[in-house]
Amino acid sequence: MRERQLEGKDSEIRRIEMEEVENAKVKGKEFRGFRLELLDVTKLALLRPDGHPGAYMNPFPFANGVPKYILTGFQIRFNDFPYICLIKAKIEILKIIYEKPCDYSNGKWVRDKRGPLYNGTTCAMIKESQNCIINGRNDTSYLYWRWKPSDCHLPRFEPNIFLQLTKNRHVAFVGDSLARNQIESLLCMLATVSTPKRVHHKGSNKWHFSSQNASLSFYWSPFLVQGVQRSSTGPPHNIIHLDLVNEKWAKEVDQMDLLVLSFGNWLLVPSVYYEGDKVIGCLNCTGLNYTDIGFYGPFRKALRTTLNSIIERIQGKGNDIHVIVRTFSPSHFEGDWDKGGTCSKTKPYRKGKMQLGEVDAEIRKIEMEEVENFAMSRAKQLRGFRLEALDVTELALLRPDGHPGAYMNPFPFANGVPENVQNDCVHWCLPGPIDTWNDIFLEMVKRWS
């Protein structure tokens, strides 16, 4: 008996599936941890005509004799249109799997009637100086915008999904007050579905979500490396050791699963830089006999020391860690920050209407270069290590309306307009534009998971 041959549309469908999988395999070689194979059952299924339910798709079809017509499944042969739809759907699934992730940094702010997930009265984690509505800010229009990437869709934050993906994991934010600003935003959104419990932990602020055994923590380390901040009672400049990571957080790297790094602002003020026991230069150190070497080189060295230290501490230990470098967030002072500068805008800038300043652009450039260099060289050598940038610079630049401004203090104009009003044009109101950083953060976690 001649073996039945595959032909027509069945043969064409299988051919397309085989081709697309092979093409995806080639593309998938660019991505660590990606594997794709085909479960080819077409020919073995072809040779088993006896294995279908046939008339017995229904109970006892011949109990009352043999009917004139027996329904044995789909009686209408598919036409070309459903076949084309099926093939396109499979191709789209493959695209989702192996195409490069969306560039969330490129887009514009558009109006959104939904507003935020939480508010100043429902979240207890908001720092008073960022609780703008409670502090008397009347214009709430800044709450009704969402970031729309140019080439893809950015979903609204789903607290339950984040908690599911971080089940039994430790998510750590390390850095400056903007790192704290972001984790407080994240905690507020998660608290809409599960109440976090504050946990006593020496060296960090820590919260635990018992529903998924997920932990979030914040480590204060404004330089990432070792250093002493300038103060009114001490030296008027920072002391920064560019070659030594801050052990306050680094000693616990092996207990972290996701690590978000955030720094920059504290390195922009007068500083003296050390490597080993020697001073290698300074920034704006009037009165000291040191060479002013600027800011960019030390900033790069601090980030490089940090990333090298993380790699050295996990190397050979077998634990996975995903590291994110959050790019620089521009401030919006109109005037000098320490000389009465304000930020009173009430709407976002339109795309293209505001250009990134030279310093902010160079900081972001350094961050992106270091992440790319480490990801291409060191990261590929280490199983379980992944490095990526959370690029918020452009979307933050376009939101001058999202800062506390004068409402960093409660009701600053209750007794009229004072001559001098302190403004915060660095941090972000909660809720506010910074919530979008966590929308993107969740999409990164989804991809990694």
Residue 273 has pLDDT above 80, yes or no: yes
Question: Which member of 177, 217, 262, 331 is catalytic?
Answer: 177
Tell me what pLDDT residue 80 has. Answer: 45
Domain positions in the chain: 8-98, 107-448
Tell me what pLDDT residue 51 has. Answer: 83
Topology of domain 107-448, CATH: Rossmann fold (3.40.50)
Question: Which member of 176, 360, 391, 424 is catalytic?
Answer: 424
Residue 121 has pLDDT above 50, yes or no: yes
- Band the pLDDT of 253: cuts 50, 70, 90: very high
| Active-site residue, 424 included | yes
Cα–Cα dist 306/246, whole Å: 8
Phi-psi domain of 420 (left: phi exceeds 0; alpha: psi -120 through 50; beta: other): beta
Tell me what pLDDT residue 181 has. Answer: 98
**130-139 pLDDT, tens digit each:** 999 999 999 9
Residue 189 has pLDDT above 70, yes or no: yes
| Active-site residue, 344 included | no
Tell me what pLDDT residue 28 has. Answer: 58
Question: Which member of 262, 309, 427, 435 is catalytic?
Answer: 427
| pTM attached to this predicted model | 0.78
Average pLDDT, the chain: 87
**196-218 pLDDT, tens digit each:** 999 998 889 999 999 999 999 99
**315-368 pLDDT, tens digit each:** 877 778 999 999 999 999 987 756 667 898 999 999 988 999 999 999 999 999
Tell me what pLDDT residue 87 has. Answer: 54
Tell me what pLDDT residue 196 has. Answer: 96
| Active-site residue, 177 included | yes
Lowest mean pLDDT among 57-66, 170-179, 319-328, 345-354: 57-66
| pLDDT: which is higher, 197 or 375 | 197
